[in-house]
Amino acid sequence: MAEPDRRARLAILISGRGSNMEALVRAARTNPGFPAEPVIVVSNRADAAGLAVAGALGVPTAVVSSRGRSREAFEEVLDACLRAHAAEVIALAGFMRILTPGFVGRWPGRILNIHPSLLPKYPGLDTHARALAAGDSEAGATVHLVTDQLDGGPILAQARVPVLPGDTEARLAARVLEAEHRLYPEALAAYLADRRAVADTLRRS
Ligand code: GRF
């Protein structure tokens, strides 16, 4: 990512539906100033619905199966796939595998994730159910850098939505997801736009 005017080569990792991946690809396609170009969508599951979505958008796809492989073996193949596509930055988008410190260390400051809660509240799973059970008046999503800490890396941006009377988990999830689709492209663009911020964030983490 040396020349600031060149679009960074973006790999997007998914495991399922891929709606955040689609939001990133559409942002890159519709905004000529978007600082990243999706070059590969990788899924660890062959049945991820997002693979067809990426294909329809004309983004190359790959399946790196995590089944029947050790974590290390899986990450070796994943790393090779990303390097074969000359990826420079990686966006996790509903990617349901925890990456080891070894893998994360090979991509310092280059892996982003989107998480459906206002971190540091509710790392891990079932975020919307937990927000409802706690009686929270607001919920939201966070884009953060991936480090060794699960859902614990430096926060880059957050989007807030209200929790409304009568909300179910599904209704709240849908409201948060809509906010995610705006947040992820914005947060990625802002992060890449200021390469000095990348270096500074890394120094602090
Ligand atoms: C999103 O809620 C995201 O925050 C979380 O997993 C979900 C993925 O949804 N990490 P999609 O596959 O992007 O539609």
100: how many CB neighbours lie within 10 A of its CB?
14
Q: What is the dihedral sign for C-alpha 60, 18, 160, 148?
A: negative
pLDDT at 6: 85
pLDDT value at 2 more than 80: no
Q: Which of 45, 42, 35 is nearest to 9 (CA)?
A: 35
C-alpha 136 to ligand 1 mean position (Å): 21
pLDDT digits (tens, 9 = 90+) for 81-132: 999 999 999 999 999 999 999 999 999 999 999 999 999 999 999 999 999 9
CA–chain centroid gap for 34, Å, is 16
User: 């614990």: which residue's tokens?
Assistant: 152
115 belongs to the catalytic site: yes
Pocket test for ligand 1, best of 13, 45, 95, 114 (most atoms within 8 A of CB): 114
Residue 166, helix vs strand vs coil: coil
Return the residue whose CA atom lies nearest to atom 1 of ligand 1. Answer: 94
- Does the beta carbon of 16 sit less than 6 angstroms from any atom of ligand 1? yes
- Per-residue pLDDT, averaged over 39-63, amounts to 98
168: how many CB neighbours lie within 10 A of its CB?
11
